[in-house]
């Protein structure tokens, strides 16, 4: 046997069942098949055996004798087998009468072999039948897949939430539309199918469709184009449109998909406007706003006011935790955030720290919300330095008013007593001999009386019983005159820095001389080892946005600086209190009313006075006096 014959046999792996009641013929067919390389799964001799066993054997081909012994013949057996499995059946028959053939056709057989069989016929029949059956099976599978695909596409087309239509490219005639399309436009199916998109009013103008067709012809498809559609009732709706060219029967059609985005656009526009308003509010509000993650306290964002308040850049803030802003981190701990949000009094006073280290008081309020499944905190921070200063100023003013009323009453009664004492001392001096010891005693009493008069005068000023007599005065002259009259130790000098064109002041010259004298005296006494007192003066207009407790307008700023021992920070808030002093001996202490009177006089002039000091570096007093118009 040649190699070619061997290859052919090796490729013949079909399983074949033979149903033949004549044993010799069945055995002869099996031998013939085996010689050709086919495997015979069974030799069956009756229709009943064939129906029972062939479904389990699952052969690739069945040779079935039409005339079989038993209750059912080959034709009936074939019908029953084909109901159970899909297997090609070839009839073996010695009869070729028309009646038998017509009956056999009912089973849709794959062929007939007339007995006696010969090798060439049986081999060619096997190959032909198997090839045909495989093609039919493949075709059925493809048809089933195609039907399933068409069914899926039909359901997707019909039940899609997107509005879908198919139109002819040439004239825009509607071939098919789905329910969503009818719902969007308000048409009935019968009136839209067969009509053109122009006649239905889908396109407002013919040039609109012409531009659409031109773009589609050029690109082949269009995706996500925002268009305005007009419904049957005339309502304008926004839609996102995608379209593609498809071929039906050799003619181009357009598949168009529309999604109504009217509500989405309205929502997006409202969201955009809301975000824009939030961003504008966030950026322009005067209070500092810091947004952070609650669980880690890491800062997410901060507004321009926060950048200005803390002197950090926005990039630096985003690398920090919100606790880094506080002087005491426990003030901004994780536990305090929910307490702050739930508190009825949501504003909490804390001390925060700027980039340079300066500590300042703030009022913090805020809350917690959820963003992208994470808890986010928002802190609104207000610098209350100015408010604290005003509160302290108000307390000091109220305290001075109360003490002033008391001091004024005491000074008034004290003056009455001093008048009697002074009068009697004068009479005594007229009677006494200047050479007597009594006269010297009267002089001491007169001296003490004069000191008491000076104290009474200061108390009167402090008690506001002596109102300032306002006049327009050249301020530079007052400054220089007061400094020149001040007795200076040998190692103390005064330097002047007076700005050119210094405005005249609206003041009581005598009272302001006293103020300058008090401050200069303190400056000199603060430098027991000597040094320089520096007096500077310039014009200082104050606008409406100022932070000092004075009305806006034109002012003269006078600063008096020494390089003395300075004032400890804990004593600075009390320097204007009556009789407060840091001097240790009685002679050093004096009366302790100098700065108190200075404060009272400046306030009655509608001005302002402040003291800044650094221990071992010196003190600077700054006066703001109203300038003449």
Q: What digits encode the pLDDT tens for the residues 512-524?
A: 998 999 899 989 9
36 in Cβ contact with 119 (< 8 Å):
yes
At 480 the pLDDT is 93
Whether the pLDDT of residue 330 is over 90: the answer is no
CA distance 13 to 396: 115
CA distance 142 to 147: 8
Higher pLDDT, 430 or 535: 535
Mean pLDDT value across the chain: 82
Q: Is 533 exposed, middle or buried (0-12, 13-18, 19+ CB in 10 A)?
A: buried
Whether the pLDDT of residue 334 is over 60: the answer is no
Confidence band for 45, pLDDT divided at 50, 70 and 90: confident
Per residue in 364-379, pLDDT (tens digit) is 888 888 877 888 888 8
Confidence band for 70, pLDDT divided at 50, 70 and 90: confident
The pTM for the full model equals 0.44
For the beta carbon of residue 337, count every other beta carbon within 10 angstroms. 22
Helix ranges (DSSP H) in 58-203: 74-84, 98-105, 119-159, 179-185, 189-192
Confidence band for 5, pLDDT divided at 50, 70 and 90: very low
Whether the pLDDT of residue 107 is over 80: the answer is no
144-153, 204-213, 600-609: which is most confident: 600-609
At 12 the pLDDT is 59
CA distance 208 to 229: 12
Residue in the structure block whose two tokens are 């008090």 = 518
How far, in Å, are 36, 47, 81, 82, 111 from residue 107 at the CA level?
28, 14, 10, 8, 11
197 in Cβ contact with 150 (< 8 Å):
no
At 2 the pLDDT is 44
Residue 387 has, within 13 A of its CA and on its CB side, a CA count of: 8
Least confident of 162-176, 457-471, 481-495: 457-471
List of residues 6+ apart from 592 with CB closer than 8 A = 578, 579, 580, 581
Higher pLDDT, 608 or 460: 608
For the chain, what are the domain ranges?
3-139, 160-265, 285-382, 388-462, 471-626
Report the candidate in 91, 62, 88 with the shortest Cα–Cα distance to residue 75: 91
Least confident of 168-177, 249-258, 280-289, 528-537: 280-289
Q: What is the mean pLDDT of residues 386-415?
A: 71
Q: Under the phi-then-psi rule, with left for phi > 0, alpha for psi from -120 to 50, and beta for the rest, what region is 518?
A: alpha
602 in Cβ contact with 535 (< 8 Å):
no
Give helix then strand counts, H and E, for the chain. Answer: 19, 22
Q: What is the mean pLDDT of residues 557-575?
A: 88
3 token code pair? 């190699």
CATH node for 471-626 = 3.30.565.10
Whether the pLDDT of residue 589 is over 50: the answer is no
Whether the pLDDT of residue 619 is over 60: the answer is yes
Domain 160-265, classified CATH 1.10.260.30, yes or no = no
CA distance 504 to 628: 6
Confidence band for 453, pLDDT divided at 50, 70 and 90: confident
At 578 the pLDDT is 67
Residue in the structure block whose two tokens are 């000098």 = 493
Is-same-fold flag (160-265; 285-382)? yes
For the beta carbon of residue 377, count every other beta carbon within 10 angstroms. 24
Residue in the structure block whose two tokens are 């690109």 = 219
Residue 355: strand pairing partners: none
Whether the pLDDT of residue 265 is over 80: the answer is yes
Fold classification of 285-382 (topology level): Beta-Lactamase (3.30.450)
Task: Classify domain 3-139 at the CATH superfamily level.
Answer: Response regulator (3.40.50.2300)
């Amino acid at each position: 046997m040649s190699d070619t014959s061997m290859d052919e046999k090796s490729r013949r792996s079909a399983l074949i069942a033979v149903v033949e009641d004549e044993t010799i013929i069945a055995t002869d067919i099996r031998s013939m098949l085996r010689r050709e390389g086919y495997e015979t799964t069974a030799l069956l001799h009756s229709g009943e055996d064939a129906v029972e066993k062939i479904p389990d054997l699952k052969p690739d081909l069945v040779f079935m004798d039409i005339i079989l012994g038993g209750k059912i013949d080959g034709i009936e057996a074939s019908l029953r087998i084909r109901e159970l499995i899909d297997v090609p059946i070839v009839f073996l028959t010695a009869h070729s009468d028309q009646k038998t053939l017509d009956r056999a056709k009912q089973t849709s057989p794959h062929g007939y072999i007339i007995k006696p069989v010969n090798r060439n016929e049986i081999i060619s029949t096997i190959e032909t039948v198997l090839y045909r059956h495989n093609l039919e099976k493949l075709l059925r599978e493809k048809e089933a897949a195609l039907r399933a695909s068409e069914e899926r596409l039909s359901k997707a087309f019909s039940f899609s939430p997107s509005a879908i239509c198919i139109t002819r490219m040439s004239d825009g005639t509607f071939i098919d539309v789905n329910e969503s399309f009818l719902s969007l436009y308000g048409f009935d199916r019968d009136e839209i199918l067969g009509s053109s998109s122009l006649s239905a009013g889908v396109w407002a103008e013919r040039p609109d469709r012409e531009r659409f067709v031109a773009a589609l012809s050029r690109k082949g498809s269009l995706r996500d184009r925002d268009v305005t559609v007009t419904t049957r009732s005339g309502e304008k709706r926004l839609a996102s449109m995608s379209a593609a060219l498809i071929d039906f029967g050799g003619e181009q059609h357009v598949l168009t998909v529309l999604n109504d985005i009217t509500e989405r656009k309205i929502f997006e526009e409202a969201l955009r406007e809301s975000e824009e308003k939030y961003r504008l509010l966030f950026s322009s509000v005067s209070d500092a706003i810091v947004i952070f993650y609650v669980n880690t306290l890491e800062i997410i964002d901060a507004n321009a006011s926060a950048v200005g308040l803390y002197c950090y850049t926005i990039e630096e803030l985003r690398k920090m935790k919100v606790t880094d802003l506080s002087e005491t981190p426990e003030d901004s701990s994780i536990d305090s955030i929910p307490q702050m949000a739930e508190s009825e009094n949501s504003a909490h006073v804390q001390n925060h720290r700027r980039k340079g280290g300066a500590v300042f008081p703030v009022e913090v309020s805020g809350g917690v919300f959820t963003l992208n499944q994470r808890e986010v905190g928002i802190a609104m921070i207000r610098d209350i330095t100015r408010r604290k200063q005003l509160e302290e100023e108000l307390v000091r003013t109220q305290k001075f008013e109360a003490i002033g009323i008391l001091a004024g009453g005491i000074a008034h009664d004290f003056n009455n007593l001093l008048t009697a004492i002074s009068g009697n001392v004068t009479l005594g001096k007229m009677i006494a001999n200047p050479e007597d010891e009594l006269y010297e005693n009267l002089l001491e009493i007169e001296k003490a009386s004069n000191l008491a008069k000076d104290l009474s005068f200061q108390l009167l000023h402090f008690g506001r019983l002596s109102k300032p007599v306002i006049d327009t005065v050249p301020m530079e002259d007052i400054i220089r005159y007061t400094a020149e009259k001040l007795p200076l130790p040998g190692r103390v000098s005064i330097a002047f820095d007076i700005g050119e064109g210094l405005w005249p002041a609206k003041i009581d010259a005598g009272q302001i001389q006293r103020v300058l004298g008090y401050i200069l005296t303190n400056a000199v006494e603060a430098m027991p080892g000597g040094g320089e007192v520096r007096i500077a003066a310039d014009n200082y207009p104050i606008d409406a946005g100022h932070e000092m407790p004075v009305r806006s307008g034109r002012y003269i700023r006078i600063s008096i600086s020494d390089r003395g021992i300075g004032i400890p920070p804990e004593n600075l808030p009390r320097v204007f209190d009556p009789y407060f002093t840091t001097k240790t001996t009685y002679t050093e202490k004096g009366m302790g009313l100098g700065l108190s009177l200075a404060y009272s006089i400046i306030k009655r002039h509608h001005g302002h006075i402040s003291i800044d000091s650094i221990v071992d570096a010196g003190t600077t007093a700054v006066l703001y006096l109203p300038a003449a118009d």
